[in-house]
């Protein structure tokens, strides 16, 4: 029996790991994934620096009052979030809020890869911070 594809099933895009130091953590994840770390990128609006190693996003806080810094202070380096790739982040956010999920972001915002993201609060997802990510679409040549 071949089940029909579920249009609401989205693949995991990446996992975010909060770390105290990207430089100290990157070699471990490079070894685990067999991938090279992307260049470090600063996201001052979020108080973090990030780099990607395959499907792992390392998040290092540079704003000690920010969410990632508070997360690290509460429990050390750890899984920070799971990101699911969606076709339309606004539509999925509306659908999930209507289904009873609690949003952190009421409207999507720019993400690290240039697309749009929105987060769901862990209190409504069994304790996991969930990111919905709509990748930026390449600009077509005229």
Question: Residue 6 pLDDT more than 80?
Answer: no
Q: Check pLDDT > 70 for residue 135.
A: yes
The CATH number given to 11-80 is 3.10.180.10
Q: Left if phi > 0, otherwise alpha if psi is -120 to 50, otherwise beta: which for 55?
A: alpha
pTM of the predicted model as reported, rounded to 2 decimal places: 0.72
Instruction: Answer yes or no: are the C-beta atoms of 128 and 104 closer than 8 Å.
Output: no
141 pLDDT above the threshold of 50: yes
The vertex-68 CA angle with 63 and 72, nearest 5°, equals: 110
pLDDT at 77: 66
Residue pair 112/50 in contact by the 8 Å Cβ criterion: yes
β-pair partners for 51: 58
CA distance 24 to 5: 41
Structure confidence at residue 116 (pLDDT)? 94
Q: Where are the domains of the chain?
A: 11-80, 86-136
83 and 132 Cβ atoms separated by less than 8 Å = yes
First-residue to last-residue Cα distance in the chain: 44
Give tens-digit pLDDT for 53-69: 999 999 999 988 898 99
CA distance 107 to 117: 9
Is pLDDT above 60 for 11?
yes
Look at residue 3 in the predicted model and tell me its pLDDT.
44
**Weakest-pLDDT range from 38-47, 62-71, 74-83:** 74-83
Q: What is the mean pLDDT of the chain?
A: 86
CATH superfamily, region 86-136: 2,3-Dihydroxybiphenyl 1,2-Dioxygenase, domain 1 (3.10.180.10)
Number of C-alpha atoms within 13 angstroms, CB side, residue 52? 9
Confidence of residue 142 (pLDDT cuts 50, 70, 90): low
Of 60, 54, 64, whose CA–CA distance to 80 is shortest?
A: 60
- pLDDT at residue 137 in the model: 72
Query: Do 11-80 and 86-136 share a fold?
Result: yes
């Amino acid at each position: 029996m071949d089940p029909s594809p579920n249009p609401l099933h989205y693949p995991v895009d990446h996992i975010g790991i909060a770390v105290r130091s990207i430089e100290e953590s990157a070699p471990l994840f490079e070894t685990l994934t067999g991938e090279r770390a992307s260049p470090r990128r600063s996201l001052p609006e979020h108080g973090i620096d990030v780099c990607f190693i395959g499907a792992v996003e390392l998040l290092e806080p540079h704003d000690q009052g920010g969410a990632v810094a508070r997360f690290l202070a509460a429990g050390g380096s750890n899984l920070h979030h799971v990101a699911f790739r969606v076709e339309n982040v606004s539509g999925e956010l509306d659908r999930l809020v209507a289904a009873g999920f609690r949003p952190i972001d009421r409207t999507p915002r720019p993400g690290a890869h240039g697309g749009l993201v929105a987060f769901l609060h862990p209190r409504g997802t069994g304790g996991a911070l969930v990111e919905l990510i709509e990748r930026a679409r390449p600009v077509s040549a005229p």
